Amino acid sequence: MNSMAFSQKYTIVAPIHSLELGGEFSSSEWPLHVTIADTFAVDIVGADIIQKLKDLVAHSKVFEVVGEKDAYFGLNDEVHVILTRQDPVMVALHNDVADILDGAVFNDPQYTRDGFVPHSAVQKLERLIIGEPVAIRQLALIDMFPGGDPYHRKVLAVIKFPA
């Protein structure tokens, strides 16, 4: 894969704690979040993704997710996650975001739309507690390769749900 492909990868997450526009972190130190749209490539400017996400969220409201059970993702089950309840609001949000991303190329398209598996990766210092609801108050668009660096992440947009 060439570096240009890396520079155009993104993901959309629902952070558990507020993120700040322009915030940065390493690929090994993600803030706690629920994945809404897994890693994808798209012409973000041409598709006007941020404005479309703002329009979507303007008609949404804060909702809760609940962790249900531990699971392991990845080729060698190396990614510890907490599966969240298949909440209709969360599934609808994922599908609406997938509609916005029409034309995007997903790294793992089998987990999009009907294959969506709501989850939150267990982080070094934090994880969802099974059975404990957490509020989803914003979406964040994350650059997975800012400046061509695959080990770094940058917050490109933070869109808050109306109260």
Query: With the C-alpha atoms ordered 47, 53, 59, 65, is the resulting torsion angle positive or negative?
Result: positive
Token reading at 16: 């558990």
* Cα–Cα distance, 107 to 56 (Å, whole number): 23
3-7, 44-48, 127-131: least confidently modelled range: 3-7
Q: Could you name the CATH architecture of 3-160?
A: Alpha-Beta Complex (3.90)
Q: Given its phi and psi angles, is residue 4 left (phi above 0), alpha (psi -120 to 50 degrees) or beta?
A: alpha
**What is the token pair recorded at 83?**
């599966």
- pTM of the predicted model over 0.85: yes
Reported as a single tens digit per residue, the pLDDT across 88-121 is 999 999 999 999 998 899 999 999 999 999 999 9
Banded pLDDT at 45 (limits 50, 70, 90): low
Over 80: is that where the pLDDT of 44 sits? no
The number of angstroms, rounded, from the C-alpha of 50 to the middle of its chain's C-alpha atoms is: 14
| List of E strands, 4-78 | 9-15, 24-26, 33-41, 63-73
**pLDDT score of 163:** 73
Q: Residues 18-48, buried b or exposed e (16+ Cβ, 10 A)?
A: ebeeebeeeeeebbbbbbbbbbbbbebeeee
